[in-house]
A and B are shown apart, each in its own frame.
Chain A
Amino acid sequence: MLKLDAVTKTYRQSGNEVHALQSVNLKLEAGQFVAIRGPSGCGKSTLLLTAGGLLRPDHGSVEIDGTSLYHVSSAERAAVRQEKIGFVFQQFHLIPYLSVLDNVLSATIGTKQHLSEKKERAESLLKQFSMSHRRMHRPGQLSTGEKQRVAMARAMLNHPSLILADEPTGNLDKENADVILQQLRCLARDGAIVVLVTHDDHASAAADDVIRMEAGSLMLE
């Protein structure tokens, strides 16, 4: 379960204040797939980073499966991210000098699993995304669609119960976007919470519910 309670975030930069999140409340259960839509700059990315334990809110709390993310140590927060959260970004955010396989495996830094187990899991995900033959390639050698599939495999590596996807299809053609959206659907069907940020109708149609966001606030559509 993901629960945001009165989450507020204000950016302060050179005297200017940007109210990116204004007392946001959100509660999502396992298996829910929601799309968050809204104009650029309304606070969508801020919402995902805050929900994912990467950005401490000014007020309010974020709870994942009973753990209040910002009331635990940063090490524990990192552990929650690793075990429970999978991020997918519009810009893919792959590490340029690591191979496809190593990029997927980068989600396992510091985990206790055996390397062979991790590798097996990574290989099977790459196979699932038809990327096995490119596992030794660098991100620079991949098309955007392929990059996002690798990023998707990385997000899924540790069997997350929460997927936070920030405009994952924003840079993709329809075919490649469908691969990602289909995969998000599958994850939700298998019991994960999926939060998809998008401003694309086609993408939001894949979700069960669509939430509108405007100027830092959520409103159900």
Chain B
Amino acid sequence: MGVGRMIWMEILHRKWNFLLLLLVLGMVVAYALTSMQIIAAEQQQTEAKVAAMDDDIRKTMKDLGFNINILPKDQQLVDFYANDFADKTMPYAFVQRLADSEFVSSLNHLRPALIQKVDWPEQKRQVLLMGVSGVVPWTHRSNAKKPMSDPVPADSMNIGSALAKQLNLQVGQAVVLNGESFKVNKIYDPRGTKDDITVWIDLKRAQSMLNLPDRINLIQALECNCASIDRLAEIEKEISGVLGEEVQVIELSASATARAKARTNIANEGKIRLAELAKTSRTRTLWLIGLGATVVGFLAYFNVRQRQFEVGVLRAVGAPTSKILMLFIGKLFLAGLLGAIAGIAISLTACKLGLVGVEGISSSSWFSQVSGPALAAVFVLTPALAIMAGWVPAAIAAGQDPALILSEE
């Protein structure tokens, strides 16, 4: 007759005591593990949000692209902001002079444009017409392999989403603008800016349609890589070195900056929320461990009371104290092991059935969220918790005086 068999027979005999032990330990383990799941899911969600923002910012940077606007010197900024385009113009040669210059180093991609708000009589609408050419290559530099945005083919137009939607235009459709025919080349996704009501056509055609040959009213420059913090001053200095005082420079980064700020905010808020979540679940887990330990202690004590008689008998037949202690400790150890398994099962089931109520938690992701060391810790700590909680009652049982019980008649 070994201690193991004795433990097993007792467990079978007093099922409820053991099942309650399992349940209590299982709940503690399940809570701790599910908290880990929730935290991991929240973290993933925040990360996904930030990643989406990053993506968005990247797109924004690419679409807005240019973070410097170069305008004719005499352009009133009030009008520029009010109208969304410059009413003054400058010669196309300006952009070429910049591209030819050896002194301009902080500007990168140069893109000339001619923009005006025009009537589209055929569609009975006012639109922003933007004539664009491709990026003007640098004469003295090796140029970026891929242009930031394609020029619009001469026979085509690109259309902002709101406009395309309202006019019910489709890609490939033939349209007429001021008597000139175009083919719809591309319809952009919504951007939430005036881009959504803009029509892009080839610069040369725009110049001829607007009767402004060789004139432009905007040079966009992308990816200024300035050495100093005061980049606008640095760029102005470079440009005036080439073009004299004939242009003015404004920085066009508000949208991208706002998004970058939003992204940082989301990341920070996420971090704060995660830290709070981790703190509350840590506190609650600790409380629950305390509560669980208390209940386990009571259950162990109750078990000891129930077993006074058999302990007395075992001592009478010569079982050493150490073996009697083993009977109780072994049971607690087993309860801890099975409780850990029960806890994992409870947590898995709760996640699988969606009882947790947190997005992104599923049984399939469960194991990837719980690290190997964490699982190992669960299997070590749960029996340890059970044994510590039940130690005192077990020691009392092992040491109690059997004579009292055995002499009772």
Contacts and interface: CB of A to CB of B under 8 A. Distances in A.
B323 A55 contact: no
B9 A98 contact: yes
A217 to B, nearest CB: 19
B315 A78 contact: yes
A136 interface: no
Interface in A35-87: 45-46, 49, 52, 54-55, 74-75, 78-83, 85, 87
Interface string B366-409: 00000000000000000000000000000000000111001101
Interface stretch (A89-97, A126-134, A206-214): A89-97
A199 B315 CA distance: 26
A109 B319 CA distance: 6
Interface string B95-109: 000000000000000
Given A97-B13, A98-B9, A109-B1, A85 B318 contact: yes
A84 to B, nearest CB: 9
A205 interface: no
Interface size class of B (residues with CB under 8 A): 20 to 34
B401 to A, nearest CB: 7
A81 B1 contact: no
A102 interface: yes
B406 A106 contact: no
A142 interface: no
Given A49-B403, A78-B318, A108 B1 contact: yes
Contacts of A78: 315, 318-321
Contacts of A89: 406
A155 B313 CA distance: 11
B403 A54 contact: yes
Contacts of B401: 55
Contacts of B310: 95
Taking chain A's interface residues, is the majority helix, strand, or loop, or is none over half, making it mixed?
helix
A218 interface: no
Interface in A114-154: 115, 118, 154
B52 interface: no
Contacts of B9: 97-98, 102
Interface in A158-182: 158
A174 to B, nearest CB: 21
B173 interface: no
A140 to B, nearest CB: 11
A75 B320 contact: yes
Nearest to B399: A74
Nearest to A90: B409
Chain A CB within 10 A, most for which of B2, B12, B310, B313: B313
A118 B317 CA distance: 14
Contact of A54 (B13, B316, B321, B322): B316
B321 A109 contact: no
B146 interface: no
A172 to B, nearest CB: 15
Interface of B: 1-3, 5-6, 9-10, 12-13, 309-310, 312-323, 401-403, 406-407, 409
Interface of A: 45-46, 49, 52, 54-55, 74-75, 78-83, 85, 87, 89-91, 93-98, 102, 105-110, 115, 118, 154-155, 158
Given A105-B1, A115-B2, A154-B317, 13 more contacts: A45-B407, A49-B403, A78-B315, A81-B318, A82-B319, A87-B317, A87-B406, A93-B406, A95-B313, A97-B13, A102-B1, A109-B323, A158-B318
25 contacts: A45-B407, A45-B409, A49-B407, A54-B402, A75-B320, A78-B318, A78-B321, A83-B318, A87-B317, A87-B406, A91-B409, A93-B406, A95-B310, A95-B313, A96-B13, A97-B9, A102-B6, A106-B6, A109-B3, A109-B323, A110-B3, A110-B319, A154-B317, A155-B317, A158-B318
